[in-house]
Amino acid sequence: MSALMSIKDLVVRFETPRGSLEAVRKVSLEIPFGTSIGIVGESGSGKTVMSRAAMGLLSGSNVRREGSVHFDGKELTAMSPKDVRNEFGTGMAMIFQDPMTALNPVRRVGSQIAEGLRVRLGMDKKAARARSIELLSLVRIPDPESMLRKFPYQLSGGMRQRVMIAIAVACNPKLLFADEPTTALDVTVQSQILQLLSELRRDLQMSLVLVTHDLGVVANNTDFVAVMYAGEIVEQATTTELFANVKMPYTEALLKSIPNIEMKGGTRLPVIEGRLPNPTDRPAGCGFAARCSYVQAKCTAEHPPLVDAGDGHLYRCWYPLGHTIGRKQ
């Protein structure tokens, strides 16, 4: 069965005066129909650049994109920007981290939702208004009629995020990218929004790509998880498999550093020392070698390839956890 979106060997490079910056290095990912995928990584891992590049949203004279992005039977990289834009709304859509800057502050909520409906689906004013009210109820906004006339600054963060979701799903896209949708929100609102996204996905039969730095968010809201580090995918598996059988030390360290509400108070949190390698100057071997507690000689010398553990669980490590050599003594 063909996937909804198929990304193969995607490379994104930024040409800067200081040299070529490879933000995304040969990433391949399959997004099946009707599933939810999490892409997890720290700031600078390339996850946001990758999702924008996949949608064709990266612009700029110094951006170079290579590889193939196949969406719904069409090859996006071969299409003109105008044709790619035609896919937005009805094919794919994106919601962003900061709803305040993603919404137009000088236009009313109603007109922002209706815009997509009228331009993409050709609805007239009355039909668009009725559909807008439907959409606002879909995203659980109380009193949708009066919401239509409000401006974004009059809304709270959670409300704005819901409005953004309403705009994104207005034309029933098949694929929704959510780029750190809850990072700027309080915990209580975060769980509401995540739950809303899950329900929408099921009801509208969309695929959802959840891009985040928080493994806690993906644990309960995704079917598959891909972990990115320094521009590459370093581990990929079904969510249950990833949490049960972590293979890559980076993923393990990431898991351990989350402040867990169930651990004993007053304990020191395990940390990942150091920082992401500078993208203009990447080491020859494994990008995580300098920070890995299980590092061996081979790790700094050779770049590990992505291997399949057998059941679709991919990892990029010479000495994955569970391997006898390299286990910390």
Partner 1 sequence: MAGSGSAHLRNNDEVVLDVRDLVVEFKVGGGRVVNAVSKISFDVCRGETLAIVGESGCGKTTLGKAILQLPPPNSGDVIFEGTNLTKLPKEQLRSARTAMQMVFQDPISSLDPRMTVHDLIEEPLWIWERGTESERQTKIRELLNNVGLEPDLVMNRRSYEFSGGQCQRISIARSLALEPRMLICDEPVSALDVSIQAQILNLLQDMKDRYGLTMVFISHDLAVVKAVSNRIMVMYLGKICEVGSPESIYSKPAHHYTSALINSVPIPDPTRKRTTAPLQGEPPSPVAPPSGCRFRTRCPAATEKCAAEEPQLREVTPGQFVACHHPRV
Amino acid letter at 127?
A
Draw the binding track, 258-297, toward partner 1 (x: CB under 8 A; -: no contact). xxxxxx-xxxxxxxx--x----------------------
Rounded CA gap, 222 and 87, in Å?
24
Other beta carbons within 10 angstroms of residue 329's beta carbon come to 2
Please choose, out of 21-29, 40-48, 57-65, 96-104, the segment that lies near partner 1 by the rule CB under 8 A: 40-48
Rounded CA gap, 145 and 163, in Å?
13
Q: Crossing angle, helix 187-204 and helix 157-169, to 10 degrees?
A: 10
Q: Is 174 exposed, middle or buried (0-12, 13-18, 19+ CB in 10 A)?
A: buried
Residue 7 or 210 having the CB closest to partner 1: 210
Options 215, 234, 237, 286; binder of partner 1; rule CB under 8 A: 215
Residue 226 or 253 having the CB closest to partner 1: 253
> How does strand 92-95 pair with strand 175-179?
parallel
Q: How many residues does the chain have?
A: 329
Residue 86 or 137 having the CB closest to partner 1: 137
Rounded CA gap, 123 and 112, in Å?
14
Rounded CA gap, 48 and 118, in Å?
29
**Shortest approach of partner 1 to residue 233 CB, angstroms?**
17
**Shortest approach of partner 1 to residue 86 CB, angstroms?**
35
**Shortest approach of partner 1 to residue 124 CB, angstroms?**
33
Please choose, out of 7-15, 46-54, 96-104, 208-216, the segment that lies near partner 1 by the rule CB under 8 A: 208-216
Could you tell me how many residues of this chain bind partner 1 (CB under 8 A)? Answer: 46
- The reply to whether 68 sits near partner 1 by the rule CB under 8 A is no
Options 220, 278, 280, 293; binder of partner 1; rule CB under 8 A: 220
Nearest by Cα to 64 from 19, 17, 20: 20
Residue 6 or 198 having the CB closest to partner 1: 198
**Shortest approach of partner 1 to residue 42 CB, angstroms?**
5
**Shortest approach of partner 1 to residue 90 CB, angstroms?**
29
Kindly provide the residue ranges of all beta strands, DSSP E only, lying in 191-280, ordered along the sequence: 207-212, 224-229, 232-238
Residue 128 or 136 having the CB closest to partner 1: 136
- The reply to whether 217 sits near partner 1 by the rule CB under 8 A is yes
Rounded CA gap, 105 and 141, in Å?
19
Residue 255 or 307 having the CB closest to partner 1: 255
Please choose, out of 87-95, 119-127, 156-164, 321-329, the segment that lies near partner 1 by the rule CB under 8 A: 156-164
Rounded CA gap, 16 and 30, in Å?
30
Draw the binding track, 223-262, toward partner 1 (x: CB under 8 A; -: no contact). ----------------xx--x---------xxx-xxxxxx
Tell me the CB-side half-sphere exposure of residue 157, using CA atoms within 13 A: 15
Rounded CA gap, 75 and 77, in Å?
6
- 39, two tokens: 């892409």
Please choose, out of 57-65, 69-77, 119-127, 209-217, the segment that lies near partner 1 by the rule CB under 8 A: 209-217
Residues 257/268, Cβ–Cβ less than 8 Å: no
What residues make contact with partner 1 under the rule CB under 8 A? 42-44, 142, 156-159, 186-192, 194-195, 213-217, 219-220, 239-240, 243, 253-255, 257-263, 265-272, 275
